[in-house]
Chains A and B, each alone.
Chain A
Amino acid sequence: IADLKHQKKRSVDGHPTKQVKELEIYSFKVDCKITSRFARNVVTSRVVNRANESKEALFDVQLPKTAFIANFSMIIDGVVYVGVVKEKEVAKQQYQQAVARGQTAGLVKVTGRKMEKFKVSVNIAAAKKVTFELVYEELLKRKLGKYEMVIRVKPEQLVQHFQIDVHLFEPQGIAFLDVNATFLTNDLMPIVKKTLTGKKAHISFTPTLDQQSACTSCQNTGLDGDFIMTYDVDRDLSAGNIAIVNGYFVHHFGPANLPRVPKNVVFVIDQSGSMMFTKMFQTKEALHKILDDLNTEDNFAFISFSSSFRKWKNSLIRATTANVVEAHKYVSELHAGGGTNINDPLLEAAKLLDDAHNLGQVPERSVSMIILLTDGDPNSGESNPTKIQSNVKYAINNKYNLYCLGFGYDVKYSFLEKMSIENSGIARRIYEDSDAALQLQGFYNEVANPLLLNVELQYSQNAVSDVTRSTFKQYYDGSEIVVAGRIADNDLDMFVADIRAQDANSNITMTYEVSMSEVDNITQQQQYIFGDFTERMWAYLTIQQLLQQRISVGSEEKKLLTDRARELALKYNFVTPLTSMIVTKPEEQMDQGEFLAEKPVEGDRPHQAQKYHSPSHSRISAGSYHSTSAGSYHSTSVDSD
């Protein structure tokens, strides 16, 4: 920090004695607005080239995988260059033509565990500035009783104006709000300002240069990590909350104060050779924890498999203390070796559940599920993935949920994903890391406490259209159901939502009524954040669901769903797996061609698709730069920035 002050002084004096930063990010701001769980983040970075030659500045940010990029722009010399979202194939052709002309530019597709990268580079002439602005939107998903927003911060340079500014508005009222960051020291903690008043909250983090420094009198920044905001809204056993703005509605339904529904779970555990050592150890560790968390009303069973399968018991049994103790012993004795036969143990799991239901061994009102944990492709017994999917679908027959946990990178994720979705479940990748056991437990906890069965949300007939998915087999504690749609009746006086569901003991119906005249008042409050959010949230949710539905349908229907998703993505300018964003750079930078931003797809191996070509100039990474071009430097101007 001392250096920067001297830098300015020397410039005024006109006698620079020491080389100063050639490329400087003098402002970096993350502006986040969240309303009704929908977040719009605007990341703005302003860079100045203080060198007397052009330099390449790199804008490099990470955004959550669940977010869709909605806009990107660069302002150079007052000229705005805006990213245009195009159909993926069109964008790719345009990009490839540029590449064919020798204009290699940045095509970036990098996935991490939760985040993906967005990078763009541009040459800035001497003494010029560039402003990068990236907008991305995300519907925050409630998991384990909270919403989480992560902003990854990694400026490798001290930034004069660094700011994270979050405005939150939740019409249901904010139950709690926590802010933390992996880089927050005791000294930095008081800089995070948080105000919370009922439905509104504001968080700001604006460290000075001094406060950003990793150590006294050094130029290294200490800001490196995740800025994490978690919160939940007030909730009770009611029909939830509906936001209606500009003819679109979004309904959030996540009731509390309900008894849990017992569950029947068959754990199907891969113990093939590839699970040996760490994976097996972590699996056992997680299973021991899960066993301790089983509710005494639950029923469970284990099937372990390699080339063949082995049942722990011939039927599901209650999670009594004695049975759980016995199960711990069984888990401790699991060892890895052999091939991977996924087909037979899954069919056997379905049979175990069938028997349990037919013989009345499990409560009538209960949730039955199969949790498959595997780390590899099927290579023993039935190994044709399509055949396995069809066998499993036939055996489960829409009665139970199948959750597939793909451990590591050797699994064919798309195979597991399709199989889960076809059987009312989800697939989740378990990253091979030191916290794998925690990831497994975390997933289990999400489905550990079913509260409602057969949830149906219905809206005023003939008054709404384009409604997203509105029936759900289960509602789990800590999660939330979100339905959005369009109001088709312009003369609608009263918006009515009916919810029907079954809890552990009874059938429940709930009604939400709001008069459209009241909606105007609510809208006024919501525009405090941004006016068209409901429509964009509807579009976001619809695209997400269409993309998911595509996975488990035939080719004809797939085409229809794809066309619809693409059409919406283009209309709302979202970068999705079906669309790409093209950023045309200034003409004088044609040697760098065009920039293409794409949405990485889960299942891609990390770094696999990364193709980044950068000239050996200076690079700026979200507030950092590494100068590799020596060149003499002479400053003749004073820049108050």
Chain B
Amino acid sequence: PHFLIAMRPPNDAVCFNIDEKPGVILNLVTDPVTGFVVNGELIGDKKTENNKKVNTYFGKFGLVYNKMELRMEITTQEIKLFHGADITRFPWSATATSTHAGFAITINKERNLIVTMGVDVTFVILLHRVWKNHPLHQDFLGFYTLDNHRFSSQTLGLLGQFYHPIDAEVFNIRPGFDQGKVDATMFVKGHKLTVTRGNQKDYRLDPKHGTDVPCWFVHNSGKGFIDGNHTDYIVSTLF
């Protein structure tokens, strides 16, 4: 999957890929103060050709909100909401809202799931439907943070670490190895990284084709841009 981090100012973006095997679960957000955790499990294409790179996507997300004893499991088939021992299961075919005190989910039939906590935290999980008889691809999910104000400054995770501002400077823009693309040097978190100008897709507005977002691409699974190595974010269970 690709990660896209908005940088402001100057309203630019940084992107990176995480390449891992299907079945691997990555921690995206962990806030030890509010007890909010988001993990995502990777899936691959239906089949892969020998020696070819395995494309991976998110096929399942797990959300935990300990404070309210709430858990959610979102797959491409359904949305399961656990409240204590109770389970409520919504299909993606429903347009529905479930409101708890200070926590709400809204399902827009076959399109997205919006999770809100109070007025300061909003996530969107997008459902990408693929033709079910496609020989290679299968349905997958996307995760977008719209508002993260309520999270504490101790928030971690592949996305969570960027919920609080970081300083990054891009300079020395020059022609890159790939024709038509430029490279630059990014100074971030005490590292000097070579980054490449490119585009990544934001599918919120156009779920089918996506909208191109120009971004500085960090190579090697975001190494240097993220805290530690991407393998540090691999967890054993969804919850």
Chain A residues within 8 Å of B, Cβ to Cβ: 236-239, 256-259, 503-513
Contact = CB atoms under 8 A, between A and B. Distances in A.
A258 B88 contact: yes
A503 B88 contact: yes
Contact of B88 (A238, A259, A509, A513): A259
Interface residues of B, number: 20
Contact of A508 (B91, B93, B98, B109): B98
24 contacts: A236-B78, A236-B89, A237-B88, A237-B90, A238-B94, A257-B89, A259-B83, A259-B86, A503-B88, A504-B86, A505-B84, A505-B100, A506-B83, A506-B100, A507-B97, A508-B98, A509-B96, A510-B94, A510-B96, A511-B95, A511-B109, A512-B95, A513-B95, A513-B109
A503 B105 CA distance: 14
Contacts of B81: 506
Contacts of B94: 236-239, 510
Contacts of B87: 257, 259
Nearest to B101: A506
Contact of B97 (A236, A504, A508, A513): A508
Contacts of A510: 94-97
Interface in B45-88: 78, 81, 83-88
A257 B86 CA distance: 10
Nearest to A239: B94
Nearest to A502: B99
Contacts of A236: 78, 89-91, 93-94
Nearest to B97: A509
B96 A506 contact: no
Contacts of B95: 239, 510-513
Contacts of A508: 96-99
Contacts of B109: 511, 513
Contacts, number: 66
Contacts of B88: 237, 257-259, 503, 505-506
Contacts of A511: 95-96, 109
What is the predominant secondary structure among interface residues of chain B facing chain A?
A: strand
B97 to A, nearest CB: 4
Given A257-B89, A259-B88, A503-B88, A237 B96 contact: yes
A179 B138 CA distance: 38
Nearest to B104: A506
Contacts of A505: 83-84, 86, 88, 100
Nearest to A504: B86
A505 B84 CA distance: 10
A508 B90 CA distance: 11
Task: Kindly list the 3 A-B residue pairs having the minimum CB-CB distance in the complex, ordered from nearest.
Answer: A259-B86, A257-B89, A238-B94
A511 B106 CA distance: 11
A505 B87 CA distance: 10
Contacts of A256: 89
Interface centre among A256, A506, A507, A508 (most CB of B within 10 A): A506
B83 A237 contact: no
A236 B92 CA distance: 10
Contacts of A259: 83, 85-88
A339 B83 CA distance: 48
Interface centre among B93, B96, B99 (most CB of A within 10 A): B96
Contact of A238 (B96, B99, B100): B96
Nearest to A499: B96
Contacts of A503: 88, 98
A514 to B, nearest CB: 11
A258 B100 CA distance: 15
B83 A507 contact: no
